[in-house]
């Protein structure tokens, strides 16, 4: 590495205020059980790439066709990221430039739709994402969006409704993909429906791409026309987005990302994606992906045996959606008490929730972060017990503080990657 110039102090000296806040966040991420289903811990190697001088470089365009000079090394980095991601998912074409999951989805709209075109996606209250056409999102405002839901009886995707809405509205684009849905997605079923009405099928695997890469969830690659994903959830890369697609859509997707939607790619993120994809190609990643699901299933059983109601009755993936109605505790009260006890989750609507989105009935929890720390079934059993104790007495500070002490002790046994605490 090049020598630092004299007037170039490290963050701790140059900006102690921000440095102290980052150090405190490191402490928090070590001391607490992080159950937010979309979060994880990245490796030291991913952090090193992401925090590198690649942030200094402008690279509008694609390898070999850039609008700025000096791309000798950036092109190699982006091509490596692409080839690793192709290998990981078996994709024909990959674009690693989207700034995050939401811009990746916007690029899919831009590639195939005109403003006002009909589109179809899973509604937010049923576990869909804002960018699948929800009313407050640009995707709900600029397109004629229709939302399918889940069934009342088993809370699984209502394919009869998908078919009915698809025939009625003839969408240009159909989204399959979820942000709060604990079951396996049947991509082939969506493909049939898309084919019947001549729609582009777009699978958004933002949450599950790590499971797909590790073989712990069926892949939509080869079935959907386009697959979008974040890189920072179960995939354990830097914050970013990617689009995988069939070769026939490569041009449309690349043009939509740049120059359609974005300027220069974030090269430091691209390098982080390359590193994360390299990690995901190793056998240990498969073990991790399967352990994420095994832990979620173990935790689901533990919670069920303690009287918790689980949306759909269980899980096939990395997340569990709890309906706390029968526990007589609103999701927000539970989430706040759990956070004080060192168990960090988010309150969430459940399907057909009678309560308001800002004060819903449910809680969403996921196992990616705690699995990355190396926790297993014994820890899932403890976690279920702690959650039961806190949810039964969210206002009882003795209970909450007692659990917090036990959580901290457990966390000390499972140091996460990427964080050096002395």
Ligand X SMILES: *Cc1c(COP(=O)(O)O)cnc(C)c1O
Which stretches of the chain bind ligand X, using CB under 6 A? Answer: 38, 100-102, 105, 129, 131, 177-179, 204, 206-207, 230, 241
- Catalytic: which of 57, 66, 151, 239? 239
3-state helix, strand, coil in the chain (%, to 5): 50, 15, 35
Structure-token pair, residue 298: 């173990």
230 in catalytic set: yes
Q: Hey, what's the torsion of the CAs at 34, 104, 132, 353, to 10 degrees?
A: 10
Taking the complex as a whole, the smallest distance from the CB of residue 414 to ligand X amounts, in Å, to 25
Taking the complex as a whole, the smallest distance from the CB of residue 38 to ligand X amounts, in Å, to 5
The residue whose two tokens read 């990221």 is 81
Cβ-based nearer residue to ligand X, 98 or 302: 98
92 in catalytic set: no
Taking the complex as a whole, the smallest distance from the CB of residue 273 to ligand X amounts, in Å, to 13
DSSP string over 152-221: TTT-SB-HHHHHHHHHHH--SEEEE--SS--S---HHHHHHHHHHHTPEEEEE-TTTHHHHHTTSS---B
58 in catalytic set: yes
233 in catalytic set: yes
Structure-token pair, residue 161: 């409704």
Contact in structure between 43 and 417 (CB atoms under 8 Å) = yes
Taking the complex as a whole, the smallest distance from the CB of residue 206 to ligand X amounts, in Å, to 3
Cβ-based nearer residue to ligand X, 200 or 206: 206
Taking the complex as a whole, the smallest distance from the CB of residue 48 to ligand X amounts, in Å, to 21
239 in catalytic set: yes
Cβ-based nearer residue to ligand X, 206 or 403: 206
- Catalytic: which of 233, 297, 332, 373? 233
Cβ-based nearer residue to ligand X, 50 or 105: 105
- Catalytic: which of 161, 204, 254, 379? 204
CB-based contacts of 126, cutoff 8 Å, min separation 6:
147, 148, 149, 150, 157, 181, 351
Cβ-based nearer residue to ligand X, 37 or 338: 37
Closest CB to ligand X: residue number = 101
Helix axes 331-340, 377-392, angle to 10 degrees: 120
Catalytic positions, written as ranges: 58, 60, 204, 230, 233, 239
């Amino acid at each position: 590495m090049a020598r630092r110039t004299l007037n170039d102090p490290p963050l701790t000296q140059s900006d102690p205020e921000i440095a102290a806040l980052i150090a405190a966040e490191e402490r928090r991420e070590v001391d607490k059980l992080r159950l937010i289903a979309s979060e994880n811990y990245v490796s030291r190697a991913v952090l090193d790439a992401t925090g590198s001088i690649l942030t200094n470089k402008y690279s509008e365009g694609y390898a070999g066709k850039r609008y700025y000079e000096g791309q000798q090394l950036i092109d190699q980095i982006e091509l490596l990221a692409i080839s690793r991601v192709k290998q990981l998912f078996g994709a024909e074409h990959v674009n690693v430039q989207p700034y995050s999951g939401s811009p990746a989805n916007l690029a899919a709209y831009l590639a195939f739709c005109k403003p006002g075109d009909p589109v179809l996606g899973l509604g937010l209250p049923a576990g869909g994402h804002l960018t699948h056409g929800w009313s407050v999102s640009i995707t709900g405002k600029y397109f004629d969006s229709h939302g399918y839901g889940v069934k009342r009886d088993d809370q699984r995707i209502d394919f009869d409704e998908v078919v009915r809405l698809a025939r009625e509205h003839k969408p240009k684009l159909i989204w399959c993909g979820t942000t709060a849905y604990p079951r396996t997605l049947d991509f082939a079923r969506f493909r049939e429906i898309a084919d019947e009405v001549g729609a582009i099928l777009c699978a958004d695997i933002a949450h599950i791409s790590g499971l797909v890469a590790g073989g712990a969830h069926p892949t939509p690659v080869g079935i959907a026309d386009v697959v979008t994903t974040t890189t920072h959830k179960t995939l354990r890369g830097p914050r970013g987005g990617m689009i995988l697609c069939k070769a026939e859509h490569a041009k449309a997707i690349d043009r939509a990302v740049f120059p359609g939607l974005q300027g220069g790619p974030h090269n430091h993120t691209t390098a982080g994606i390359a590193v994360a994809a390299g990690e995901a190609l190793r056998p240990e990643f498969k073990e991790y992906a399967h352990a994420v699901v095994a832990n979620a299933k173990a935790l689901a059983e533990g919670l069920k045996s303690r009287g918790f109601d689980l949306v759909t009755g269980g899980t096939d993936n990395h997340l569990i959606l709890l309906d706390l109605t029968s526990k007589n505790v609103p999701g927000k009260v539970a989430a706040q008490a759990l956070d004080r006890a060192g168990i960090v989750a988010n309150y969430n609507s459940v399907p057909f929730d009678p309560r308001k989105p800002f004060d819903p009935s449910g809680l969403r929890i996921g196992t990616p972060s705690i699995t990355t720390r190396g926790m297993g079934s014994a820890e899932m059993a403890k976690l279920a017990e702690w959650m039961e104790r806190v949810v039964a007495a969210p206002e009882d500070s003795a209970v909450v503080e007692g659990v917090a002490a036990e959580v901290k002790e457990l966390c000390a046994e499972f140091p996460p990657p990427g964080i050096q605490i002395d």
